[in-house]
A and B are shown apart, each in its own frame.
Chain A
Amino acid sequence: MAKIIGFPDKGSDQRGFEQLLQPHIDHLYRLAYRFAGNKPDAEDLVQDLMIKIYPRRKELDQVENLRPWLVRVMYNLFIDGKRRQSRSPIHLTVDNSPDYEGSDPIDYLESEHMGPEEETARHLYNGHMVRTFDQLSNDHRMVITLHDIEGYTLEEMTAILDCPIGTLKSRLHRARARFRDLLKTSLSEPHCD
C-alpha cells in the first residue's frame, strides 16, 4: 500500500479542539434541552453543532467570547432544523412530560425538609411549568431560556439572536405575558398523567 508522507499529526489538532470545547458542552446541552424539550433531540443538536464547527476549529481560538458564539451557531442549527421539519410531511410527536431519566430526582427537590404533600404539589406545579414552557413558540421559548433561565444579558442576546435590543425587550415582555396566560390556563385545568 502506498504511504502518505508529509501529512501533519491530526491527534494534536483534535486535542486542541476538545480542550477548547469541553468547558462549554454541559452548558450547550442544557440550552439544547431547553430548546428541543427532550434528551435525544438535545444530544443531536449539540452533536450537529460539533460537526458543523469542527472544520473551522482553527478559528475558534480567535473568538473572543466563545460561548455566546457557540450558542448562536447552535440556535441557527435549531431554527434551520425546525424549518426543515415544518416543510416535511412527516411529523414527530414527543412526550412532553418531564423527563427525569438518567437524573437524580433529588435534584428537583427544593428543600430537603419538604413534606410529601408539598413535594407532590411541587412536582405537579413543575409538570404544569414544563407543559406550559413547551407550548411557547420557538421565539418565546428562546428568549425566556436565554434571559430568564440562563441569565444571558440583553446585549449578549442581540449577538446570539441577531436582533436589536428593543425588539428583544418587547419579545421578552410578550413571551412572559404569554407564559403567564398559558400557565394560568394549565393550572385551572385538571390534568391526568
Chain B
Amino acid sequence: MNCQENFNRLDDYFDATLDEAGRRAVDDHLAACPTCRNAFDEERSIRAALRALPVASPGSDFHRRLFENTYAHHKRSARRRYGLGGAIAASFFLVLASTALFKNTPPPAPGDRHEAIPGMTISLNEVSDVKLIFKSAQNFDKARFTIVLPPGVELDGYPEQSEISWEGRLKKGENLLVLPVVARNPGVGELAAYVVHGDKEKSFRLHMNVNHQESALPSPAVQPA
C-alpha cells in the first residue's frame, strides 16, 4: 500500500469500518512510514481537539425555563384560538350562543339527516380550528354545552377526551366558538356540538375527514437502523 492509499483509508480506520485485513495493512504502513505516521497523529489530535471544543453552559434554570416557556406559549396559543385573552372558561362563556336554540327539538338520531351536514378536511397531527357560529335571539344565563369528537380526534391540549361538557352563559347576537382540534388517526367521522337549556336542546354536526397527510414533524415510526 502506498502513502496515498493509506491516507485514503484513514477515515475508515478512525471510524472502525475497515475489516481486519484493511486495518492491519494501515498499521503496517504506519509502522514503516514516518511521514504517514505524523499525518495519522495529527489527524488523531484534531479529532481529540474537536471533541474537546468548549460548549458554554446554558443560562441558569435553563431546564425550568424551557418547560415554563413551552407551557406558556401553548397556553397563549390556546387563548388566541378561543378568541380571548382571558381564561379559557371565560372564552367559552362569551362566544357560545344559538339562534334556533331551545325550540323543543329532540337531538337528531344517528343517520337522521334532514339537512346537508357541513364538512371539513384536516391533516393528521396538525392543529386545525373548527369554527362554529351561533346566533341567539336573546341572552341565556345558564346553558350546558357538550362537544363530542369523532374517533381519533381530540381537542388540542386535552388528550383522550372524546366528550367535553361545561356550563356557561349565552349572549344575544352572533357568537363564535373556535375549537382547536388535532386528528391522531386518519378516517372520517362527525363532530357534534349540543347546547342544552332545561329540556330544550340544539345540536350542530360537522362531517370531518382526516387525510393521511402528516404535519412537518418526522414520523415517530422513522427510526435509525
Q: Fill in one digit per residue for B52-92: 1 if any A CB lies within 8 Å of its CB, else 0.
A: 11111111001100110111011000000000000111101
The residue in chain B whose Cβ has the minimal distance to the Cβ of A63 is B220
| Across-interface contacts of A107 in B (CB, < 8 A) | 54
- Given A18-B67, A46-B66, A149-B51, the answer on whether A56 and B217 have CB atoms closer than 8 Å is yes
Which of A5, A43, A130, A158 sits near B166, CB closer than 8 Å?
A5
The A interface, classified by DSSP as helix, strand, loop or mixed, is: helix
| Across-interface contacts of B52 in A (CB, < 8 A) | 108, 110, 126
Contact B54 A51 (CB under 8 A): no
Contact B224 A158 (CB under 8 A): yes
| Nearest CB in chain A: distance from B5 CB, A | 15
Contact B53 A4 (CB under 8 A): no
Contact B88 A102 (CB under 8 A): no
A62 to B220 CA separation, bound complex (whole angstroms): 7
Contact A8 B217 (CB under 8 A): no
Which of A4, A34, A60, A173 has its CB near the most chain B CB atoms (within 10 A)?
A4
| Across-interface contacts of A121 in B (CB, < 8 A) | none
| Across-interface contacts of B62 in A (CB, < 8 A) | 25, 29, 43
The residue in chain B whose Cβ has the minimal distance to the Cβ of A169 is B11
Contact A69 B222 (CB under 8 A): yes
| Across-interface contacts of B225 in A (CB, < 8 A) | 155, 158-159
The A/B interface has a contact count, at CB < 8 Å, of: 170
| Nearest CB in chain A: distance from B190 CB, A | 20
A117 to B136 CA separation, bound complex (whole angstroms): 83
Contact B55 A1 (CB under 8 A): no
| Across-interface contacts of B55 in A (CB, < 8 A) | 29-30, 33-34, 103
Contact A159 B224 (CB under 8 A): yes
**Which of B24-32, B98-106, B155-163, B200-208 is near enough to bind chain A?**
B155-163
Q: Does B184 contact A (CB under 8 A)?
A: yes
| Across-interface contacts of A3 in B (CB, < 8 A) | 89, 166-167
Q: Does B131 contact A (CB under 8 A)?
A: no
| Nearest CB in chain A: distance from B169 CB, A | 6
Cβ contacts A to B, 21 pairs, < 8 Å: A2-B167, A4-B89, A5-B167, A6-B165, A8-B160, A25-B62, A47-B66, A47-B70, A51-B69, A58-B159, A58-B184, A59-B220, A102-B56, A108-B54, A125-B49, A126-B49, A126-B53, A129-B53, A148-B51, A172-B11, A173-B11
Q: Which A residues fall within an 8 A CB radius of B?
A: 1-8, 10, 13-14, 17-18, 22, 25, 29-30, 33-34, 38-39, 42-43, 46-47, 50-56, 58-60, 62-65, 68-69, 72-73, 76, 98-103, 107-108, 110, 125-126, 129-130, 133, 144, 147-149, 153-160, 162, 169, 172-173, 176, 179-180, 183
